[in-house]
Amino acid sequence: MSAPLTRNDYAQPIIAGVLAAIVGYASTFTLMLAALTASGASPQQAGSGLFSTCVAIGILNIVVAWRIRTPTSFAWTTPGLAFLLTVGEPVGGFPAVAGAFLACAALILLTGFIRPLARAVAAIPSALANAMLAGMLLVLCLAPVNAAAEMPFQALPILAAWALGLRFARRYAVPIAVVVTGIVLATTTHLPPNTFDGAWPNLVFVVPEFTADALIRIALPLYVVTMASQNLPGVAVMKANGYTIQPAPIFVLTGVTSALTALFGGVTNNLAAITAAICAGPEAHADPNRRWPAPVAAGFTYLALGLLASLAAAFIAASPPLLIQAVAGLALFSSLAGSLAGALADEESRLPAILTFVTTASGITIAGIGAPFWGLVGGIVLLIMLRTSKSS
C-alpha cells in the first residue's frame, strides 16, 4: 500500500486534472452542440444534452478514481459525435436519436456482462477501426478549409490563432481557437434580444422513440465507434502508463450513465483516451500511485463547466453553422492524423484500411445503413481475402 498523499502531492495531480477537463471540454463542446443540433435537437435540448453529459462524466471521474485509487478518466465519445454530425436528422427526429443513444447504452452495458461480445469488438482490426474513424473525421476536418473560402474574414483569424497556438502552446491550440471564435462571433454575429433567455442550465427530458432507421444508422455504428475508438484505446492508454483495469465493470458503469443521459439528450459516455494520458501520465505525478486525484479534479471541473452548457448552446445556435463546424474540425485534426497513422502503419492491412477509409468518407447509404458500417465490412472482407490468398 502506498503512503498517504501530502498537501504537496495533491497540487500536481489536481492541476493536471483541471487542465485535462478544460482541454477536453473546450476542444469538443462545440462539436457536441453542433452534432446534437444537426440531429434535430433544439437549443434547449442541445444544452440539456451537454449539461447532463458533463454531470455524468464529472460523477464518473470523481467516484471511480476515488474508489479504486487509480487515475481512471472518463469523457464523452468524440468520434461518436463526429459520426453523428455526418448522419443528420433521422426519421423520428431527435426523440429517435435519444432512442438510439439508449440502445447504444444497452449494448455497452451488455458488453460488460457478455464476455464474447467484448472479445468480438476487441477483435476488430485496429487498422480498420482507425480507417473508419478517419473516414468519418475527414468530412469534418474539411470544414475549416470551406469556412476559409466562404467567410474568410471570420475564419482566417481562427485558423491563424490555432496555427500560432500549435507553434507556441501546442496543448492549448484548440482552446485558443475557441476563445478567438467567441470573440469573432461576438463582434460579427447579430444575436436576437432573447437569445440568452433561460440560459441557466436546465435538464430537458426527451421521450425516446425507437425506429429502425435510427437503430441501424445511429445506434449500431455509434456503439462500434465508441468501443473501438474510445473504450479500447482508453484501456490501452491506462496499460501504457502501468495500470491494469478491469474493462467489464467500466463498461457496465458507462452503459448505465449513458442510458440516464440519453433521457436528457446526452451522448454516450466512455473511457477517456486523449485526456486520460494527462491524468494517468507523469504530468500528473512522478509516482504512479499518487496520480488518482487528477481525475477527481477533472470531475469537479466538468461539473463546473456543465453550468455553462445552456449559455454555450444559445450562443452557438445564433452563430453561423459553418464557422462552428470549422472549430470542431480544428479540434479533430490531431485525431484524424492519429487515425490515418494507425490505419496505414501495417502494410498487410493497408489496402483494406484504404477501402474502409474511402467507403466511410463517401457517405453512402445502402439499405438504410450508413457508410461507416459498409466501410468496416468491406475492409474486413478484403483483409480476409488477402490473408486467405497469402496462406494458400
The predicted pLDDT at position 4 comes to 62
CA-to-CA separations, 351 to 124, 173, 361, in angstroms, rounded? 16, 33, 15
CA distance 142 to 333: 10
What tens digit of pLDDT does each residue of 71-85 get? 999 999 888 888 888
- Identify the band that residue 221 occupies on the pLDDT scale cut at 50, 70 and 90: confident
The predicted pLDDT at position 369 comes to 62
User: Which single residue is written with the C-alpha cell 483516451?
Assistant: 273
Question: How long a stretch of residues is the chain?
Answer: 392
Which of 32-41, 234-243, 323-332 tops mean pLDDT? 32-41
What tens digit of pLDDT does each residue of 254-299 get? 999 999 999 999 999 999 876 787 788 777 888 888 899 999 999 9
Is residue 164 predicted with pLDDT exceeding 90?
yes
| Amino acid, single-letter form, for residue 199 | A
Average of per-residue pLDDT across 220-224:
88
- Identify the band that residue 370 occupies on the pLDDT scale cut at 50, 70 and 90: low
The helix/strand/coil state of 271 is strand
The predicted pLDDT at position 157 comes to 92
The predicted pLDDT at position 371 comes to 78
Average of per-residue pLDDT across 184-210:
77
CA distance 24 to 4: 29
The predicted pLDDT at position 377 comes to 87
CB atoms within 10 A of CB 152: 11
Is residue 105 predicted with pLDDT exceeding 80?
yes
Residue 75 backbone dihedrals phi, psi, to 5 degrees: -155, 175
The predicted pLDDT at position 231 comes to 84
The set of long-range contacts for 174-179, using a CB threshold of 8 Å and a minimum separation of 24, is 174/23, 174/26, 174/27, 174/330, 174/331, 175/22, 175/23, 175/26, 175/27, 177/327, 177/330, 177/331, 178/26, 178/27, 178/30, 178/327
Q: What is the mean pLDDT of the chain?
A: 84
The predicted pLDDT at position 6 comes to 60
Choose between 218 and 179: higher pLDDT: 218
What tens digit of pLDDT does each residue of 45-65 get? 998 999 999 999 999 999 999
